Amino acid sequence: MSDTRRRVKVYTLNEDRQWDDRGTGHVSSTFVERLKGISLLVRAESDGSLLLESKISPNTAYQKQQDTLIVWSEAENYDLALSFQEKAGCDEIWEKICQVQGKDPALEITQDPIDESEEERFEEMPETSHLVELPPCELARLEEIADLVTSVLSSPIRREKLALALMSEGYMKKLLQLFQVCEDLDNREGLHHLYEIVRGVLFLNKAALFEVMFSDDCIMDVVGCLEYDPALVQPKRHREFLTKTAKFKEVIPITDSELRQKIHQTYRVQYIQDIILPTPSVFEENFLSTLTSFIFFNKVEIVSMLQEDEKFLTEVFAQLTDEATEDGKRRELVNFFKEFCAFSQTLQPQNRDAFFKTLANLGILPALEIVMGMDDLQVRAAATDIFSYLVEFSPSMVREFVMQEPQQTDDDVLLINVVIKQMICDSDPELGGAVQLMGLLRTLIDPENMLTPTNKTEKTEFLSFFYKYCMQVLTAPLLANTVDEKKSKALQEGSTKINPVCPDNFQTAQLLALILELLTFCVEHHTYHIKTYIMNKDLLRRILVLMNSKHTFLALCALRFMRRIIGQKDEYYNRYIIKGNLFEPVINTLLDNGTRYNLLNSAIIELFEFIKVEDVKSLIAHIIDNYYKALESIEYVQTFKGLKGRYEQEKDRQTLRLNRSPVKISLLYPSRYRRDARTLDEDEEMWFHEDEDDDEGEAVEKSRPEEEFPESYGKYMEAKKVKESDDKENFPTQTPTGSFKFTFSHSAGAANGANGKPAASHAASASPNGSPAKSDATPGTLVVKPHLPTAMVGLVDYPDDEDEEEEDEEQSPRKRPRLGS
């Protein structure tokens, strides 16, 4: 037997009754010595590997479907299919199979699938060896036909024989002609019998019958039969819906009649499966597997035909991006692409890759950038769905596109900024669209999917791009809804719970929670990029203002952000927190919460427990020196006593070290400034140097007020504009040395001097007699200032210099804590 090669795709049916693509290759039929028989071989066209080796068994039932498909089962629950590119190739392989089995190639199925139990029954009932004898197709015999169809469903053998009988002599078409007669005569009994007959025929699960029933001249009669369910008092009106309500919209005229017919057929068959047919019982769930396959292969064919018609897709893109296109037309075009992308999800990975690459080459991303910025809510929603398909397919492709944009456009119309704007301005009270967009942004900025071998620098380049052009847009609502603590106290006017600048609006609180979730993700995955941004914008202080929000979930988001920062165990972060006394709002919230045992209480306790367990020495010293008086009364957990114990142990160790080596005291003083053992990576160190060098040139850009953000954020910026002069003190100001000076409402000795040196080194100028400066805090508020010791080196923050702590404690009275009860 000569080899015959034809291009095919190999499919297998998975557990979910979906077809999986195993690859594309060329099929041949040849004798295989090992299998001792004629076999079907498929070798991959890419590398020649063997995709399929299947012996043509004399007892295997092969089915030919839709002229280009051959389907069979090799074992229980293992179905195979060959999808041919050409009908001629399918016919030739089908003839080989029929030749081996001694069957007529005109048949659509070569064998009756007989299992052992059925085979035994078959032997006991020899009369079943003949085709099922169908009654004449007459009105008077409809009940008899219905009983016959219903009775065979439990027997695979009889189902096969009935299917063969129905396919002979055009029996199905005669039945559907009787439907028209019954409907004209309003013969309800006959119509009810036809419902049972058509439903039973669908459950026969035969592709050859589907080809007849779903043809253009039969499908509406099939739908009509299924309207007359005997269980319903009045028939449904499915045909009226399909012909009058459901309108087929051609956004661009489809000239291919075969394609148009395939689209109509697929929609109607999907309607029959999803809407008309009742949900199959557990005993019937496999009865419609061939119907599912029929729809699946139709969708694959539709996508392939559209994808190959470059003229059609080019015209669609041209109209979509044309400013002259009417809004209604553009809405239809976007909805077409949304459905097109949804259809593509039925494709196997290789085909789906080719599909999205075709869309990318035609300019889908620039088109989305235009439509996502439009006012039409439906258009934006559909465009978001399309964008989600693209991001899911290839985040790198989207990133590559957006990084090329700054050369061609303004910051406020960059694709990612358009996405952020849409997230911020989501009108849905539940922010459903914003949640979806936040997930897409998270995927785009996730370094885990930036490790493509083709572009080694993608991570560095994209993150630099994102923090330069997009981060200020993302944080604009956050900065607009928070003010510094001094301003907050002035507005509170003595109240500890009502904060006019904290968002009391639930929708705004939800939005800020989403932004905080994204920023928390950045802290964990972006290292020095987000670190520089936090310190330049004094972002943590602004976020901790949200601890006063009446929405507990938002306060927890702010706390989670700080917890993630501390979890990095980075001394840069630790010194930033210490300089700003940023534990103060957290401890105030703990005290305000009182004795309530809730999630907020537990989260704050866990924060301090982490510091204790990880033995973060600089933070432990800062907490004990400044806040222990307010915390020592909390005894329902041992966290704070444990912190005190850690503090005393470290203090004893330092004292012992000093006593053992007095000559080296001078070497210990600078220890507060020496780098942590966990040194920064070389590229991180370069980032900080580079950032300082660029500060002078980019000072305007870094310190520009939030009101210069895109106008679409105006609603968040109004309060900001009014308070511009007050807010400026929240941002770090650059000194001539390149370091930063922080000005705070509670700037005690923990804050640095003007030149970036520790305040303790300027103790004489800050307080000539070595005593703390007068507090400006209001009574009842925890604002505890670090001690300013008389010694030359400050002992507040760093455990290396704690040998003189005891003599200073008597000279440094503590501030009165704010009690939570």
664-712 per-position pLDDT tens digit: 444 444 444 444 444 444 444 454 444 444 443 343 343 344 444 444 4
Residue 96 near residue 81, CB atoms below 8 Å = no
- For residue 40, pLDDT over 80 is answered with yes
pLDDT more than 70, % of the chain: 71
Question: Which pLDDT score, from 0 to 100, does residue 197 have?
Answer: 94
DSSP conformational letter for 12: E
Looking at residue 772, what is its pLDDT? 38
305 close to 256: Cβ distance less than 8 angstroms? yes
Say what the pLDDT of residue 725 is. Answer: 41
**Range of weakest confidence among 323-332, 365-374, 669-678:** 669-678
Would you say residue 804 has pLDDT above 90? Answer: no
How would residue 514 be classed by pLDDT, with cut points 50, 70 and 90? Answer: very high
Confidence of residue 284 (pLDDT cuts 50, 70, 90): low
pLDDT-based confidence at residue 484 (cuts at 50, 70, 90): low
Mean pLDDT of 71-86: 80
Give the model's pLDDT for residue 175.
92
What is the average pLDDT across 804-812?
A: 40
Rg of the Cα trace of the chain? Answer: 37
Average pLDDT over every residue of 470-474: 93
Query: Best-predicted range by mean pLDDT among 158-167, 653-662, 678-687?
Result: 158-167
Q: Is the pLDDT assigned to residue 256 strictly greater than 60?
A: yes
What is the model's pLDDT at position 661? 59
Task: Find the range with the poorest average confidence among 49-58, 124-133, 733-742.
Answer: 733-742
Average pLDDT over residues 277-294: 71
Range from 202-206, 304-308, 738-742 carrying the lowest mean pLDDT: 738-742
Q: Which residue has the higher pLDDT, 417 or 115?
A: 417
Mean pLDDT on 235-251: 88
Q: What is the pLDDT of residue 84?
A: 86
pLDDT at residue 411 in the model: 63
On the question of pLDDT at 552 being above 70, the answer is: yes
Residue bearing tokens 């203090």: 651
Res. 145: pLDDT tops 50: yes
Q: Evaluate if residue 18 carries a pLDDT over 80.
A: no
Check residues 806 and 607 and name the one with the higher pLDDT.
607
pLDDT for 266 equals: 92
By the 8 A CB rule, do 553 and 513 touch?
yes
Please tell me the least confidently modeled range out of 19-28, 398-407, 562-571: 398-407
Higher pLDDT, 619 or 320: 619
Neighbours of 351 (CB within 10 A): 17
pLDDT grade, residue 225 (50/70/90)? Answer: very high
b/e map 581-619, b = 16+ CB within 10 Å: bbbbbbbbbbbbbeeeeeebbebbbebbbbbbeeebbbb
Return the closest-CA partner of residue 64 out of 30, 85, 87: 87
Query: Is the whole model's pTM more than 0.85, yes or no?
Result: no
- Nearest CA to 70 out of 48, 34, 101, 44 is that of 101
Q: Over 70: is that where the pLDDT of 166 sits?
A: yes
Contact 186, 214 (CB under 8 A): no
Query: Region 407-433: what's the mean pLDDT?
Result: 82
The 3-class SS string of 190-232 reads HHHHHHHHHHHHHHCCCHHHHHHHCCCCCHHHHHHHCCCCCCC
Q: Which residue has the higher pLDDT, 544 or 1?
A: 544
Question: Sorting pLDDT into bands at 50, 70 and 90, what band is 222?
Answer: very high
Q: Is the pLDDT assigned to residue 726 strictly greater than 50?
A: no
Looking at residues 758-783, what average pLDDT do you find? 38
pLDDT tens-place string over residues 635-653:
899 999 999 999 999 999 9
Contact 58, 100 (CB under 8 A): yes
Of residues 489 and 587, more confidence is placed in 587
**Contacts by 37-40, CB closer than 8 A, 24 or more apart:** 37/100, 38/1, 38/96, 38/100, 40/82, 40/93, 40/97
Q: Within 569-616, where are the H helices?
A: 571-579, 584-593, 599-614
Q: Does the pLDDT at position 741 exceed 70? A: no
Which of the residue ranges 60-74, 177-191, 274-288, 674-688 would you say has the lowest mean pLDDT?
A: 674-688
Average pLDDT (237-247) is 90
User: Among 161-170, 182-191, 342-351, 446-455, which stretch is predicted with the lowest mean pLDDT?
Assistant: 446-455
Mean local confidence (pLDDT), 152-159: 82
Most confident by average pLDDT, 306-310, 313-317, 816-820? 313-317
- What does the pLDDT read at residue 728? 41
At 496, the amino acid letter reads T
Report the pLDDT averaged over residues 554-572. 95
Average pLDDT over residues 794-800: 38
pLDDT band at 575 (very low <50, low <70, confident <90, very high): very high
Q: Please give the pLDDT value at position 366.
A: 87
With CA atoms as reference, report the closest residue to 346 among 291, 305, 310, 297: 297
Q: Specify the pLDDT at position 67.
A: 78
Confidence check: pLDDT of 584 > 70: yes
Mean pLDDT of the chain: 76
When mean pLDDT is compared across 29-33, 224-228, 505-509, 617-621, the lowest value belongs to 29-33
Q: Give the pLDDT of residue 408.
A: 59
Helix (H, G, I), strand (E, B) or coil at 37: strand
Percent of the chain with pLDDT over 90: 29
Listed in sequence order, the residues at least 6 apart from 223 whose beta carbon sits closer than 8 Å to its beta carbon are 238, 239, 242, 268, 271, 272, 276
Among candidates 69, 87, 8, which has minimal Cα distance to 41? 8
pLDDT, position 409: 59
Average pLDDT on 704-730 reads 43
* Residue closest to 259 by CA, chosen among 228, 225, 289, 303: 303
pLDDT of residue 47: 83
Would you say 717 and 458 are in contact if contact means Cβ atoms under 8 Å apart?
no
As a whole number, mean pLDDT of residues 543-549 equals 92
* Position 46 confidence tier, pLDDT thresholds 50, 70, 90: confident
Which range (220-224, 319-323, 761-765) has the least confidence? 761-765
